[in-house]
Structure 1
């Protein structure tokens, strides 16, 4: 159980819920934003002393009943609730990030001849990709394995502005960090994941600021404008799909509106791969 992370998560989420959100009177001046500890304890049906100990990182191992009560009191969304359970070490046996990609998934991305597709693990390492993804994202074959990491790319790449607008980069960075937060809670024993977080906290002030927010959300569909030096800007729909029975893997697809200029640009890229 990660008591320090659990305590900080509770404090951050408490500060973001107002008395009005949960039907309580504001009640005069408040020294801190959000709910008071007494109010959270009241809403969750527990003693104030028990809740204070949880926020101070010295509480007992909370039961599922307690976690469910806290989720309701703090108005947590599904992703946030799942993250809370992982921080409290529920289930007791943390899952392991596997690095193998099922053969059926490799076949699938190979057959997607006009759609850039790659497989991402919970650490944001790119584990497999098809030809179109390699063309759209750069020469992945020539990239060292430790550099095939989307988190490092979005926060540390000197040429990120050539691929994403500032607005899109900001949205993508925020979504990626919120998603990585879930992975860090889900796989607390994964040393490579914890090392990645420590590295980014040390090297990227932007990452550190986003990490401090304790936002948690699973990455899903997002629109991106991807710039390619040959065919120009491609407006894509980046779809992130969980792999069945493999929670540590996601399939990422870059699709376009059928018949659009961006669709034609992807077809031109496909022709370039055939002629090279």
Structure 2
């Protein structure tokens, strides 16, 4: 591993980017051109401390997953991506050509072990590729078709429109993730068809797309109007499956709350 060369390469590529190119707000005046370290770390889904150590030539050998995240965050061309992997002393796997829809067995097993927590897995296009029974009870029986896409549900009102708050926030989250997917999978026909449909049929989506929102997966609270259980206040927390560019969304309620009791009743059926 060529630590000094890798550190120099990361610093140079970071300095070459401009915030507006990635949809980041300019914010306060910057002492130096380019992105801040914390911005690169957020885009690459890694800690600021780890990224800082890489730039200072004192970090451990980064894994292929970390390197792929950096390549995406720094908008590296294919040749630059290969060079990044060589500097880290590892072979670059071929870039993914499309969003991964298969779900790793251990992820599927985890969902089954969470009977009192709603859990779904979404791919990079916001297609729901796995779910557990409580999630189906919460989000609608059409999950069982295996064809539910949360981006279409959000912007085209496909399927039951149950979420009644945080809709604007979720719209920004969806567009930010789809923009990342478009950068990563420019030749994915399923993604291209989805984006064409959203651009054609949703003025709101077209507007948000132009604003280039940026969002890091994490925690949010939403209110959901359930057809039989009534209004529920729920917490959504995201776990990443980085190797497959997937997200596990865990849906819970505050302990002891009326919503938590309702979740327990739904889980028991």
Q: TM-score, normalised by structure 2?
A: 0.69
Contact kept? 1:87, 1:186, Cα under 8 Å: no
Superposed CA offset, 1:231-272 (max 9, x none)? 2111111111112x524111111011111111101011123x
How far is the alpha carbon of 1:10 from its aligned partner?
A: 4.4
1:1-276 alignment, distance < 5 Å:
10=20, 13=23, 16-17=25-26, 21-22=29-30, 43-44=32-33, 70-72=34-36, 76=39, 78-80=41-43, 83-86=72-75, 88-89=77-78, 91-92=81-82, 93-96=94-97, 97-143=99-145, 145-146=146-147, 148-157=148-157, 162-165=161-164, 167-243=165-241, 246-271=243-268, 273=269
- Which SS does the other structure have where 2:106 is aligned? helix
Q: CA distance change for structure 1 residues 84 and 109 in 2, over 3 Å: closer, same or farther?
A: closer
Q: CA distance change for structure 1 residues 86 and 219 in 2, over 3 Å: closer, same or farther?
A: same
Instruction: Choose 112-121 or 210-219, whichever is displaced more.
Output: 210-219
Residue correspondences, number: 215
Ranges in structure 2 where 5+ consecutive residues have no aligned partner? 1-15, 45-69, 83-93
Q: Please give the alpha-carbon distance, in whole angstroms, between the structure 2 residues aligned to 1:13 and 1:249.
A: 22
Q: CA distance change for structure 1 residues 214 and 95 in 2, over 3 Å: closer, same or farther?
A: same
Between Structure 1 and Structure 2, whose CA radius of gyration is higher?
1
How far is the alpha carbon of 1:13 from its aligned partner?
A: 4.9
Alignment RMSD (CA, Å): 2.9
